[in-house]
Amino acid sequence: MMMRDYHRRWDDPETVGQFADKSVGQFFRSETHFLKDIAENIDSVLDVGCAAGRFLDLLKHYRVAAPFTGIDVSPVSIALARKNYPQARFICEDALDCDLAGTFTLVNATGVLQHDPRFEAIIRRMLNWSARYVLFDVKFAAIADHIADIGVAYCGGAHRLHYIPLAPAKFLATLKKHADIARISFYGYETPLNDRTFLPEGIGPIASAGVLLEKGNRRLPELRIELPEFLQI
């Protein structure tokens, strides 16, 4: 597997260690908010961008004991995941290149889509893998268009990483175009930027938001939107 330049951040020792040591209490509210509501319905899990596999601990916290598959681009993290969770299956590959058969009740991506400019393609892939739920988190700002240019919006470090604020109205309109989504839920709140995150001037506050998609046939998806007042949809 050939890693893209912006994927190399995930193999940096500091980044690997950060996610390898992540405890249940360190998951953001945007990452956990919807999980408690769907936990009893989960009987198989695919984790896209699984890092060292700590999402398994979060599932255990919510009493989810289901077959688990994780995908990640970092060979170092995948090696740690296989060592720490030998009962699970881990694949070292880019999700968009992974020819993984079958479907999963829950397809999850924690801390992934705000760092990859291919976020729309990844969501489509996740929907194809999902038998019921797709869960992920994003960053929203009060903007008319997404900002996915790593030259102006990024996390600094040895390997620069995209930091992608999405325009919530445009993002919602894109999700509505998927014929197989019956319900779209957003839950978000204002979140501060750390000193390694850089955005163009005038962007305003940023919201961390969890997104839960439930598959099904419906002419128009049901919407459940809970976002801070500075975001208008």
**Domains, in order of start, for the chain:** 1-20+29-105+131-152 (3.40.50)
Report which residue type is found at 45. V
- What is the structure's pLDDT at 159? 83
- What is the structure's pLDDT at 12? 65
**Alpha-carbon span 180 to 149, nearest angstrom:** 30
Helix (H, G, I), strand (E, B) or coil at 72: strand
Helix (H, G, I), strand (E, B) or coil at 137: strand
- What is the pTM for the complete model shown? 0.94
Pairing of strands 154-155, 197-198: antiparallel
pLDDT, one tens digit per residue, over 154-170 is 998 878 899 999 999 99
- What is the structure's pLDDT at 70? 98
**Alpha-carbon span 162 to 149, nearest angstrom:** 7
pLDDT, one tens digit per residue, over 77-129 is 999 999 999 999 999 999 999 999 999 999 999 999 999 999 999 999 999 99
Among 138, 143, 130, 135, CA closest to 113: 138
Pairing of strands 104-109, 222-226: unpaired
Report which residue type is found at 60. K
Residues 98, 70: contact at Cβ < 8 Å? no
- What is the structure's pLDDT at 227? 97
Residues 47, 71: contact at Cβ < 8 Å? yes
